[in-house]
Structure 1
């Protein structure tokens, strides 16, 4: 019994020692793990904080592209303008980039309908080239809410006020005046707002559709008028030519007829003298009647040569003329005998 009691006590002591040792080991093992967990959490926290700080500091870097500028604000108030290249600012949210402003030349086109002094409606195309002045980015960004619309308004007002004092022909001839007027007005107004007016171009005015149709009608009528005038001139030239030719022809005929009559008169005079000289008892009146009947007889002869021709002769045709002819013939016969 004693031996068994001792053995039980010894066994109990061993088990107790074993349990104590086991507990000690377990406690040591869990402590190491706990310390190891704490160290990793610390590393992660500091790493995240470092990355966050780096990310926050990176917001201080401002990279600006060529021909642009960036407006920097600190708590909503203008601070500075950063130009092309690498720049630094206070980190966000202390300082922030409000906007990027282009420094390139921009072109604004506008077709302006104007009314001339002679009530003609024309369309005047205007182009304005402008850009932000690099030293006045602050004024250009903050002063004008919509610069393009405001520039258009000034262009329209300037061109219309100038065109109202001119007629249509003057507007077509005054492109340079419009360019100078618009450029002067825009420069005077917008350079103070940070905008440079580089150039102003005014193209040829274009008439309205109604005016173009009216021009087409006028041109068509003018062409018809020119065609009619050309036709009349051609006809007049032809008629004048024909008249001149006829006048020359009549002049030549008159001269020939005059010569012919002179020759006939000379011949008749010689014939009458010959009759009066060679035939005694014959008077000049009888000879003249004889010659006058020659033309009448020739005309009757020529007319009767055509068949179906009706010839009407005076009732007294055989009167004095007939007696004169008979007398001349009789005296001529006696002379021959």
Structure 2
């Protein structure tokens, strides 16, 4: 076969293969014929006229994200940086507008984001910016949606993902927050101390009340025991005065015995001779007798005055 025919066959095969092309999923290809828009081809095996049609470009139909960082000033004159994330995609039915009306869609979206944020944030104080960041995102989406739809783009969502005030402002905010927390902690500690003091006072008052009640019960029982002891001694011929003196002396020796049993006691009672108990008993009997005589004399004197 002559070389000329071989060359024609090769050229024909190349042209035939050039007539077919593949468009990937979620992608749109723009076809131009002699520089003029011809058609839009979507995913799959496509065909064009070789040397006449050409692929002018391809656009992805997937959701894309653009992060825009804006520095602006708040109502209370605080400079703050905001990071706004814009999620968008090309509208399938408006690939023509997206391809031919905008050369740099990222720049257009960035410009709109700057315009909206710098119009909204200066109306708010710094604290409100943190609280109303969703309102800022909604305002950005509303403005972008209104303008970008005409260019074939759909704004899926806008998010204010970061709010970064000036470093000195952040340090001041941290100090305010720390001081507020310390104040709250001090208040809680004061309340706890006050409750502790009140409860301690209540416990002490209850202890005193129970202690007083115990002492009263103890004295009542002692009096009852003394009364029974006097009755027993009266039955064996010992009068009340002698019985009282004997009980006191007995308690005296019981006290000395209990003190002697304490190994760590340094107490010394003077005098402490065997004759001291006998002398104490005699003195007490004498004092009781004198007391009774004085009492009887006062009663007789009062009676005589009444008779006169």
TM-score norm. by structure 2 comes to: 0.58
1:53 matched to 2:6? The reply is no
Q: Distance in 2 between the 1:47 and 1:233 partners?
A: 102
Q: Distance in 2 between the 1:68 and 1:231 partners?
A: 65
1:96 matched to 2:59? The reply is no
Tell me by how many angstroms 1:184 deviates: 1.1
Distance 1:62 1:225, change over 3 A: same
Distance 1:61 1:227, change over 3 A: closer
The answer (yes or no) to whether the contact 2:84–2:162 under 8 Å persists in 1 is no
Structure index of larger Rg: 1
Tell me by how many angstroms 1:199 deviates: 1.5
Q: Which of 91, 94, 97 is the equivalent residue of 1:136? A: 94
Q: Cα deviation per residue 1:209-232 (whole Å; 9 max; x = unaligned)?
A: 221111122234435555666677
Q: Secondary structure at the match of 1:210?
A: helix
Question: What aligned pairs does 1:67-86 form with structure 2 within 5 A after superposition?
Answer: 67-86=26-45
Distance 1:105 1:227, change over 3 A: closer
The answer (yes or no) to whether the contact 1:175–1:204 under 8 Å persists in 2 is no
Q: Cα deviation per residue 1:172-211 (whole Å; 9 max; x = unaligned)?
A: 2213321221111111101111111111222363333221
Question: What aligned pairs does 1:257-276 form with structure 2 within 5 A after superposition?
Answer: none
Query: Any gaps of 5 or more consecutive residues in structure 1?
Result: 1-39, 245-337
The answer (yes or no) to whether the contact 1:63–1:84 under 8 Å persists in 2 is yes
Q: Which of 64, 82, 107 is the equivalent residue of 1:106? A: 64
Q: Secondary structure at the match of 1:117?
A: coil
Q: Distance in 2 between the 1:205 and 1:83 partners?
A: 40
Distance 1:46 1:209, change over 3 A: same
Q: Distance in 2 between the 1:61 and 1:227 partners?
A: 76
Q: Distance in 1 between the 2:192 and 2:45 partners?
A: 84
The answer (yes or no) to whether the contact 1:172–1:204 under 8 Å persists in 2 is no
TM-score norm. by structure 1 comes to: 0.54
Task: Give the paired residue count.
Answer: 208
Q: RMSD between aligned alpha carbons?
A: 3.1
Query: Any gaps of 5 or more consecutive residues in structure 2?
Result: 203-308
Counterpart for residue 289 of structure 2: none
Counterpart for residue 180 of structure 1: 138
